[in-house]
């Protein structure tokens, strides 16, 4: 979604701003722009790719500026609606992430005051109100505070002034971080854009404002109270984010899964005791014994990982568990048991729906543990406890390696929980042994992924694709469907295999492709029934099965995956679905890493 980058220092700002924007590109956007202070505030913006905007960018001198990638919410994708927005006297420029709910009322107020508005956005109001206050003699900080007292909604906001050598920032519900270099400072909505310049950063909290000059940042509460801000260290793993020899980040990230899962589990498995230790999820045994239930919350891919986590927790720890769509969580005024355990699962750590569920749970007196990838992200900080999944940077909009590591972290957690309750040491050891083998099995599958091309032939021209799975393979079916739909734009439906005959079977006609996830997991026989029912109506079955399983004969295209214990099969069965989605999108000529309308980090509810 929208991204912000800012620079205050001694180097050519416009070049650094464009570079920063390119680092934010993976988040999804439809237009971009920069403004640099150079005698005047020189601004340039356009719709389309950042590279196109940058190629027609005039040479802008100046060593202080702010920049933005926009993902349209208020107003169409036009040059006028792109950020930055400038006040009519040319003295104030702003970039804004988030949504201002009362913008219509504020726009009307500005019009009544005779201010001409130049865009349809909710963001533009900021520069005009600030500029009016400056004209009346207020300081930049007073003007910022004043406009923030008028707006309702969410903001990550940067303000650049013609007459001052600093940038003012404000945050409420939309992330903003400030990085410190040598006599230069960087501002961004995403640590990924700053990592190449510095590993020292301050993350603003909701309700805070900051003044950033070329040497330091001064953070305060919106009412002016000073805040003790200390620099965090951005972890090393956030460095390796180049494409290398891969044509797309998605393919690179699919292939990184063996290594990233290794990262997630290594040092956390305790083979001798048949358990695992997740430092951030240590719960006292007596509290564990009394846990009434566990709730797991996430969106999209994170939701599918949560659904798998739910099953793992129930199977291994025998604690009732339930997963929730984060965007629905607050809708029905949920009853929260303060004794229950809550897990918020998120790659970006910025998903507004998940964050809002976290806050609701905390408001009602319960703790939430984060299961998050991005270090220092909002959800990680809001939870204050939990585990990092250690996928490293995921840049393709379609999530792959983060799914694997979410499931990996939840498996570790379930094992730890299980061993603190009823799971025997022998059973724990066999689970730990199998987990340890997974990275190698992922690697070996990816070296020889089976007839993916044949599967692509079946799905790429079809009207829709049905994905089926049963038990722990049902969320894998959902994940496979989501991936294909996201990047190949083919309507996909995922159903638990047994539910197929209760409705989706109506869709099946001659040659309809049906992807079936059917590991040898004890519930396979019922999946077989669904396969027969589809085949009887002419469907073509793309079967994902374990190596050596005779079930392979039944598929029109059969893709073998290495065998493992049933509860860990999602970590292998998801791989062919990722490759099918990738290859199909590629064959259809789509932008695999940046699918239309989608954003990597969804910071609006
Ligand atoms: C799917 C995808 C999205 C995200 C969802 C949650 O490929 O990327 O469905 O999974 O927006 O994002 P996070 O995990 O960042 O909370």
Q: Atom of ligand 1 at shortest distance to CA of 398?
A: 7
Mean pLDDT of the region 550-570: 97
Between 172 and 228, the more confident residue is 172
Distance 571 CA to ligand 1 centre (A): 17
The backbone torsions φ and ψ at residue 479, rounded to the nearest 5 degrees and listed phi first, read: -65, -40
Q: pLDDT band for position 595 (50/70/90)?
A: confident
Domains of the chain (ranges plus CATH)?
3-234 (3.60.20.10), 249-447 (3.40.50.10490), 449-605 (3.40.50.10490)
Give the pLDDT of residue 377: 85
Q: Indicate the range of 19-28, 117-126, 487-496 predicted with least confidence.
A: 19-28
**Residue of the nearest CA to atom 3 in ligand 1?**
300
Of 175, 351, 386, 592, the one to substitute when testing ligand 1's pocket (max ligand atoms within 8 A of C-beta) is 351
CA atoms within 13 A on the CB side of 493: 18
Give the pLDDT of residue 282: 75
Give the pLDDT of residue 309: 98
Whether 348 lines ligand 1, by a CB cut-off of 6 Å, is: yes
Give the pLDDT of residue 474: 98
Q: Atom of ligand 1 at shortest distance to CA of 483?
A: 7
Mean pLDDT of the region 487-514: 94
Mean pLDDT of the region 350-379: 93
**Residue of the nearest CA to atom 6 in ligand 1?**
299
- Alpha-helical (H) ranges within 504-569 are 524-535
Q: pLDDT band for position 241 (50/70/90)?
A: low
Task: Write b or e for each residue in 202-224: b if 16 or more Cβ atoms lie within 10 A of its Cβ, otherwise e.
Answer: bbbbbebbbbbebeebebbebee
Considering only CA atoms, which of 405, 394, 454 is closest in space to residue 583?
454
Give the pLDDT of residue 235: 61
Of 399, 402, 494, the one to substitute when testing ligand 1's pocket (max ligand atoms within 8 A of C-beta) is 399
Give the pLDDT of residue 461: 92
Token digits for 26? 């993976």
Give the pLDDT of residue 54: 86
* CA–CA separation, 249 and 27 (whole Å): 12
For the chain, the average pLDDT equals 93
Mean pLDDT of the region 436-456: 97
Beta-carbon neighbour count of residue 590 at 10 Å? 16
Answer yes or no: is pLDDT of 604 > 90.
no
Which residues does 404 contact at the CB level (< 8 Å), separation at least 6?
257, 260, 261, 391, 442, 571, 574
Distance 300 CA to ligand 1 centre (A): 5
Q: pLDDT band for position 526 (50/70/90)?
A: confident
**36, 14 contact by CB (below 8 A):** yes
Answer yes or no: is pLDDT of 440 > 90.
yes
Distance 350 CA to ligand 1 centre (A): 10
Distance 476 CA to ligand 1 centre (A): 15
Task: Write b or e for each residue in 372-405: b if 16 or more Cβ atoms lie within 10 A of its Cβ, otherwise e.
Answer: bbbbbbbbbbbbeebbbbbbbbbbbbbbbbbbbb
Distance 469 CA to ligand 1 centre (A): 21
Give the pLDDT of residue 563: 97
Which residues does 287 contact at the CB level (< 8 Å), separation at least 6?
none
Q: What is the pTM of this model?
A: 0.80
- Alpha-helical (H) ranges within 71-214 are 103-112, 125-135, 140-150, 191-194
Give the pLDDT of residue 355: 96
Whether 603 lines ligand 1, by a CB cut-off of 6 Å, is: no
Percent of the chain with pLDDT over 70: 98
Whether 602 lines ligand 1, by a CB cut-off of 6 Å, is: yes
Please list the active-site residues.
2, 600
Q: pLDDT band for position 307 (50/70/90)?
A: very high
């Amino acid at each position: 979604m929208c991204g912000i980058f800012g620079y205050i220092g001694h180097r050519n700002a416009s070049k650094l701003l464009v570079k920063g924007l390119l680092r934010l590109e993976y988040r999804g956007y439809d237009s971009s722009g920069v403004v640099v202070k150079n005698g005047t505030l020189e601004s340039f913006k356009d719709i389309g790719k950042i590279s196109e905007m940058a190629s027609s960018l005039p040479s802008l001198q100046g060593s202080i500026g702010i920049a933005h990638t926009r993902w349209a919410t208020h107003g169409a994708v036009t040059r006028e609606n792109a950020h930055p927005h400038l006040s009519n006297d040319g003295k104030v420029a702003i970039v804004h992430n988030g949504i201002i709910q009362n913008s219509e009322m504020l726009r009307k107020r500005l019009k009544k005051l005779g201010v001409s508005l130049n865009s349809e956005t909710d963001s533009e109001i900021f520069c005009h109100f600030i500029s009016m206050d400056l004209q009346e003699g207020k300081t930049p900080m007073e003007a910022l505070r004043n406009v923030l007292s008028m707006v309702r909604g969410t903001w990550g906001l940067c303000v650049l002034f013609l007459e001052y050598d600093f940038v003012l920032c404000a945050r409420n519900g939309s992330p903003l971080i400030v990085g410190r270099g040598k006599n230069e400072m960087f501002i961004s909505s995403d640590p990924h854009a700053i990592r190449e310049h510095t590993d020292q950063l301050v993350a603003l909290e909701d309700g805070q404002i900051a003044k950033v000059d070329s040497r330091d940042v001064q953070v305060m509460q919106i009412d002016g109270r000073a805040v003790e801000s200390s620099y965090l260290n951005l972890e090393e793993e956030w460095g390796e984010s180049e494409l290398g020899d891969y044509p797309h980040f998605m393919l690179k990230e699919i292939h990184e899964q063996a290594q990233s899962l290794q990262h997630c589990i290594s040092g956390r498995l305790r083979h001798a005791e048949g358990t695992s230790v997740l430092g951030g999820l240590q719960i006292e045994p007596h509290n564990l014994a009394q846990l009434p239930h566990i709730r797991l919350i996430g969106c999209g891919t994170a939701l599918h990982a949560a659904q798998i986590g739910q099953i793992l927790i129930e199977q291994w720890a025998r604690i009732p568990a339930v997963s929730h769509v984060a965007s629905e969580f607050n809708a029905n005024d949920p009853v929260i048991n303060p004794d229950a355990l809550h897990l918020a699962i998120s790659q970006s750590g910025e998903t507004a729906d998940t964050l809002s569920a976290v806050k609701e749970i905390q408001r009602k007196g319960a703790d939430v543990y984060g299961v998050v990838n991005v270090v220092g992200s909002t959800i990680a900080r809001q939870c204050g406890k939990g585990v990092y999944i250690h996928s490293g940077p995921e840049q393709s909009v379609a999530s792959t390696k983060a799914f694997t590591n979410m499931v990996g972290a939840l498996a570790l957690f379930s094992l730890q929980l299980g061993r603190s309750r009823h799971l025997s040491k022998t059973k724990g050891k066999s689970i730990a042994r199998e987990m340890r083998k997974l990275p190698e099995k992922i690697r070996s599958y990816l070296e020889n992924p089976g007839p993916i091309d044949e599967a692509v032939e079946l799905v790429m021209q079809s009207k829709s694709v049905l994905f089926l799975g049963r038990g722990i393979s049902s969320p894998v079916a959902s994940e496979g469907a989501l991936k294909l739909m996201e990047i190949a734009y083919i309507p996909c439906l995922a159903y638990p295999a047994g539910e197929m005959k209760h409705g989706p079977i109506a869709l099946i006609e001659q040659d309809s492709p049906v992807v079936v996830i059917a590991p040898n997991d004890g519930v396979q026989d019922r999946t077989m029934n669904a396969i027969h029912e589809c085949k009887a109506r002419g469907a073509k079955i793309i079967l994902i099965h374990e190596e050596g399983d005779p079930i392979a004969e039944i598929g029109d295209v059969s893709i073998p995956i290495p065998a493992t214990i049933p509860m860990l099969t999602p970590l292998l069965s998801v791989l062919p679905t990722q490759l099918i989605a990738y290859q199909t999108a590629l064959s259809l000529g789509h932008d695999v890493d940046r699918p239309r309308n989608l954003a990597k980090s969804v910071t609006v509810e």
